[in-house]
Structure 1
Amino acid sequence: MMGLAVLAAVAVLVALHMPVALSLILSGAIGLAVLGAGGQIPDQLWALLAAPDLAAVPLVLLLGNIAFHGGYATQLHDAAAVLLQGRRGGLALASILGCAGFAATSGSSVACAATMGRIAVPAMGQAEYDPRLAGSSVAIGSTLGALLPPSMLLILWALLTGTPLAQMFMGALLPAALSLAGMVATVLWWVQRDLEAGPAAQILQVPRGAAIRAAWPAPVLLAILLGGIGFGLLSPVAALGLCAGVMLALALGNGRLTGEALLSVLRDSILQAAITLLMLAGARLVLTAMDLSGLPGMLAVEAGALPLLAAVMLLGLACVVLGLLAEPALILILALPFALGIGAAHGPGPVWSGIVLIKLVEIALILPPLGLNAVVVATAARIHPQAVFAGLGRFLFLDLLVLTALVMFPALA
């Protein structure tokens, strides 16, 4: 009961508009004090600070800010728009690929939704795309930021559960690729059935060679990250540091990051890292209090009494409910004990549990009435959210197929 009370306290404080990090710290500290374990607070915070993968947090944020302020975050979209122009649905496909490129450099699905919503949706509107296809393709594409390395959600899961970050990055690769393939297939099916939904637009007069040269940073950075980790050449922190260094050298060499922009990169990265580390500290206290209360063990027993698919469906329902009041990181933190319980009861392990939970968070980000990414895209593009939600149903079917495959074949993660 104490574990449930701690969860409820976090939800109430967040609903009252208290900052997430402070809500977690207060709820966790008070819960540990009531359980007579207040003396563990310094030990838990020190264990978090000593985690070898903790440096991944500021490095991912630095990489994302360099890419954003240096103008690299949207280059893959721009290049794909040139290469795919003249094809039905080409701009929608470019939006999805652009979101994948943005995710590979920023690790944030919400930031991706905001940025690509401002750029890609108006471009599709000018090409007379169906607003449902324009808005939903960006909203669904932005969810790749939750699953594609170096996603911040993957890093949070690894730090909070003690799972090696390298395993989380590599485990997420195939599910992310399947999700991307499903999104592309949905666009192709949509424009085949409705020829007017995605006209074959001719908008950009840019040489194809120039477009390809402009797009190379995102796939190269992803190759450095996953290749270095996959072949055992680099640790995740070293790979992220190398990626950030390459991106910084490119931005400085091209003159895209000078003076005020460089100061903005440093200021934003430091502020975001401080907020994230405070949230991690609070999450560590909350999860420790829940563990001492016996809640995770009880959840594992209950999950073991259910078929795996039913347990995952209940976890998904919890994510949808949490999505009505919480941001993606908080959804993951609050649902983490439930996901671990399912993985422990049915055997796939913590990597699979984390990938499935993050996939469920992705789905919660696009479900009406308050799917965060859908609302962010609609706000950024200045269109009605109903248009975005109306198109997302087609993509949701493929997302659920990927989730079902993960449940039936855990080795995919």
Structure 2
Amino acid sequence: MSDLAITALLIGSLFLILASGVWIGLTLSGVAWIGMQLFSSRPAGDAMAVTIWGSSSSWTLTALPLFIWMGEILFRTRLSQDMFRGLAPWVQSLPGRLLHTNVVGCAIFAAVSGSSAATCATIGKMTLPELTRRGYPDHMVVGTLAGASTLGLLIPPSIIMIVYGVTAEVSISQLFIAGVLPGVLLAALFSGYIMLWALRHPDQVPKSDTRMSLAQKLSESRALIPVVLLIAAVLGSIYTGLATATEAAAVGVVGSLVLSAVQGSLSWTSFREALMGATRLYCMIALILAGAAFLTLAMGYIGLPRHLAEWIASLGLSRAQLIVALAIFYIVLGCFLDGISMVVLTMGVIMPTVQAAGIDTLWFGVFVVLVVEMAQITPPVGFNLFVLQGMTGRHLPWIAKVTLPMFGLMCAAVALIYLVPGIVTWLPQQMTVR
């Protein structure tokens, strides 16, 4: 049977099982089992047991449930209200005024969350009613929130970076460091777009209702101190080499519990809800990772990754053409799968090709996160769009339409990190030198 026929059979099986409503993790394991039974001499049951146990018992993966738990705890605090009060005085003088709270608020919360959906929901609770009440246009409020909330995937600690680091065997700490400057770049592009829009449509930007002295602004900014301290504790421990990503995640959980207790939002009910929410989300991710690990092993035995790499090499694509092809591939795939599934499903096949092309796996990790961010705001499976639909009651096509400018800015960010790879690699190199 030819490689093309085997690939078509496995892809057909994948979509057929997914269409029947089976969970993604079980679907991946099922497709892997079919491939090994039909096209490999190794017993599929033995390979499944060994691979799933090995992927589930990874020490590096321990950081994932801890960061998820930290985000769940903070989701139930008054953090979003405090952030708005602390940020609003500083953005009043910028073109676009309080629309910038979407971008800056998402960037700050992303540094303690790691989840795009959690960032969207938390900051949305703060900005959607407040900005709507003050008369800001709905399309700008929703569009900028949808785009800026994807920073939850890029600005560390990032759940998707942990998943990529585990599947591609790349240092998670290095990935976290590499994501800082691209995250700042993307946030700057979003804010720049808001400024340009405000300068072109000054009549649609509500006037500032209050003027504050510097002392008053500083007084209001006290509300930001707890979250800044938590960010410093989590990321500072990683960047200074005092803690691994897993140890820093534990620091984050303890810090978020303390912050929640100080704010008076920590109760037995909120603690249990946060723990159960994190458990459910991690179990879903762990099942997907286990299934993907088994599928990767099966693909290795069948030889598809090697043949695909050889086929792509035979096309004679330049590095730029390969990056463009992969970007289009991930954007299209993101129309049907969530980000974590995209990463774990493709790494086993894509990584040999990437390495053969001489692409830095650390740089490629940030590239993948950026294109997965795009998938968060592309229908029909755009999780940020679903979150905003539930919060605003708007139709999905309208939300997707007002988010298009943010999608274009993400494409520009991908082009910039390709043209200037130092945006990704410079900071990790400086940390390594130290």
TM-score, with structure 1 as normaliser:
0.91
Report whether the alignment pairs 1:15 with 2:19: yes
Q: 1:225 to 1:298 in 2, by over 3 A?
A: farther
Q: CA deviation at 1:82?
A: 4.1
2:170 aligned counterpart, secondary structure: coil
Post-superposition offset of 1:375: 4.2
Deviation string 1:197-217 (CA, Å, 9 cap, x unpaired) is: 432343899953453122223
- d(CA) in 2 for partners of 1:76, 1:29: 49
Corresponding residue number in structure 2 for 1:124: 131
Residues 51-81 of structure 1 deviation map (CA, whole Å, 9 limit, x = unaligned)? 2211111101110111111232564344223
Match of residue 36, structure 1, among 17, 36, 41: 41
**Deviation of the 1:144 alpha carbon:** 0.6
Quote the residue 2:329 is aligned against.
318
Are the structure 2 counterparts of residues 125 and 352 from structure 1 closer, same or farther at C-alpha, using a change threshold of 3 Å?
Answer: same
CA distance in 2, matches of 1:257, 1:377: 27
Alignment correspondent of 1:224: 233
Cα drift, residue 3 of structure 1: 5.2
Q: Do the aligned partners of 1:71 and 1:256 also contact (CA within 8 Å) in 2?
A: yes
- Matched ranges for 1:12-411 at <5 A: 12-34=16-38, 35-37=40-42, 38=44, 39-72=46-79, 75-85=82-92, 87-202=94-209, 208-304=217-313, 305-337=316-348, 339-367=350-378, 371-411=382-422
- In the TM superposition, residue 95 of structure 1 has moved relative to its aligned partner by 0.9
Name the CA distance, whole Å, in 1 between partners of 2:94 and 2:423.
Answer: 32
The answer to whether the Cα contact below 8 Å between 1:92 and 1:198 also exists between their aligned partners in 2 is: no
User: Matches of 1:201 and 1:33 in 2, distance apart?
Assistant: 67
User: Partner amino acid for 2:139?
Assistant: R
What amino acid maps onto 2:168 in structure 1?
T
- 1:85 CA drift (Å): 3.6
Secondary structure, aligned partner of 1:216: helix
Question: Who wins on radius of gyration, i.e. which is larger?
Answer: 2
> How far is the alpha carbon of 1:299 from its aligned partner?
3.1
Offset from partner CA, 1:366-411 (integer Å, 9 cap, x none): 2356544234324312234444334333333332221012223334
Contact kept, 8 Å, 2:337 with 2:381, in 1: the verdict is no
Deviation string for 1:95-133 (max 9, x for gaps)?
111112222222111222234334322322222222221
Q: Secondary structure at the match of 1:227?
A: helix
Listed one character per residue, the Cα deviations across residues 113-157 of structure 1 (whole Å, up to 9, x for unaligned) are 234334322322222222221111000011111111111110111
What secondary structure does 1:200 align onto? coil
Q: Is the 8 A contact 1:87 1:199 kept in 2?
A: no
Q: Indicate if the aligned counterparts of 2:67 and 2:113 stay in contact, CA closer than 8 A.
A: yes
Q: Is the 8 Å Cα contact of residues 74 and 102 (structure 1) preserved in structure 2?
A: no
Greater shift, 348-357 or 215-224, is seen at 215-224
Does the residue aligned with 2:79 lie in a helix, a strand or coil? coil
Deviation at 1:338, TM superposition (A): 5.2
Distance 1:70-1:121 versus aligned 2 partners, 3 A rule: closer
Distance verdict in 2 for CA 1:363–1:271, change over 3 Å: closer
Instruction: Assess, with a 3 A threshold, how the Cα gap between structure 1 residues 374 and 200 changes in structure 2: closer, same or farther.
Output: farther
Query: Equivalents in 1 of 2:393, 2:344: separation in Å?
Result: 31
Of residues 291-300 and 145-154 in structure 1, the stretch that sits farther from structure 2 once superposed is: 291-300
8 A Cα contact 1:129 1:196, kept in partner: no
> C-alpha distance in 2, partners of 1:338/1:353?
14
Shift of 1:257: 0.5
The question of whether the paired residues in 2 share the 8 Å contact of 1:89 and 1:200 is answered with no
2: CA distance between counterparts of 1:4 and 1:72? Answer: 49
AA of the residue aligned to 2:104: L
What percent of counterpart residues are identical?
Answer: 25
How many pairs does the alignment contain? 413
Counterpart code for 2:186: S
**Mapped contact 2:334–2:342 kept (Cα < 8 A):** yes
For 1:318 and 1:219, locate their aligned partners in 2 and report how far apart those are by CA, in whole Å.
37
Q: Determine if contact 1:64/1:107 at 8 Å carries over to the other structure.
A: yes
Contact kept in structure 2, 1:87 and 1:201, CA below 8 Å: no
Aligned to 1:55, the other structure's residue is in SS state: helix
- The CA distance in 1 between the partners of 2:210 and 2:17, in whole Å, is 48
Instruction: State how far apart, in whole Å, the 1-side matches of 2:369 and 2:322 are.
Output: 15
SS of aligned partner of 1:54: helix
Q: 1:32 touches 1:285 (CA, 8 Å); kept in 2?
A: no
Are the aligned partners of 2:80 and 2:123 in contact in 1 as well (CA < 8 Å)? Answer: no
RMSD of Structure 2 on Structure 1 (CA): 2.6
Deviations for 1:246-267, whole angstroms, at most 9, x for unmatched residues? Answer: 1112212332101211121222
Report the CA distance between 1:194 and its aligned residue.
1.3
- 5+ residue gaps in structure 1? none
